Structure 1
């Protein structure tokens, strides 16, 4: 019976430039960073009800808990985009607002 190959460490996997795990980690860190910036700029009443769900340098999708929070977020989305650009996200071109799917 053939012995299984030796398991690779996470450091070995992350050290490869074309590693899928490395790409996922980079994407996760990018999403976390933009979400932190968005949370800092949101009014206090929206912070607990909205979060970034997708980000790809030019487009940002923010998911709101329900339609009411989504509507409030839409009213400030133009100002939010302007402030995010001022905060260093220069390539950001638009913000889309979506409602979180209900949990039935």
Structure 2
């Protein structure tokens, strides 16, 4: 009977150049970074009701709690896009607004 291999530490797994976890960690950090930038640029009344849900180099998807917050966000989306470009996200081409799915009760 073959003995199971020794478990690897999390640090070893994250240090592998092509590791899946390393890619997920990088994607998570990028998402957090852009969400922090967006939160700083949003008006105070929107900050608790909207968050970045997806981000790639050209597209940003922001999810709002409901249709009312989504509408308010749409009004400022072009200004938000311009501010994000000024902040260094030059390749960002558009912002999409989506409504958070409701929870079934």
Q: TM-score, normalised by structure 1?
A: 0.98
Aligned position for 1:100: 100
- Where does the alignment leave 5 or more consecutive residues of structure 2 unmatched? none
Aligned position for 2:70: 70
Aligned length: 104
Q: TM-score, normalised by structure 2?
A: 0.97
Equivalent position SS for 1:24: helix
Q: Provide the C-alpha distance between the structure 2 equivalents of 1:57 and 1:7, rounded to a whole number of angstroms.
A: 36
Aligned position for 2:43: 43
Alignment RMSD, CA only?
A: 0.7
Q: Provide the C-alpha distance between the structure 1 equivalents of 2:57 and 2:34, rounded to a whole number of angstroms.
A: 10
Q: Runs in 1 of length 4+ with deviation above 3 angstroms?
A: none
- Where does the alignment leave 5 or more consecutive residues of structure 1 unmatched? none
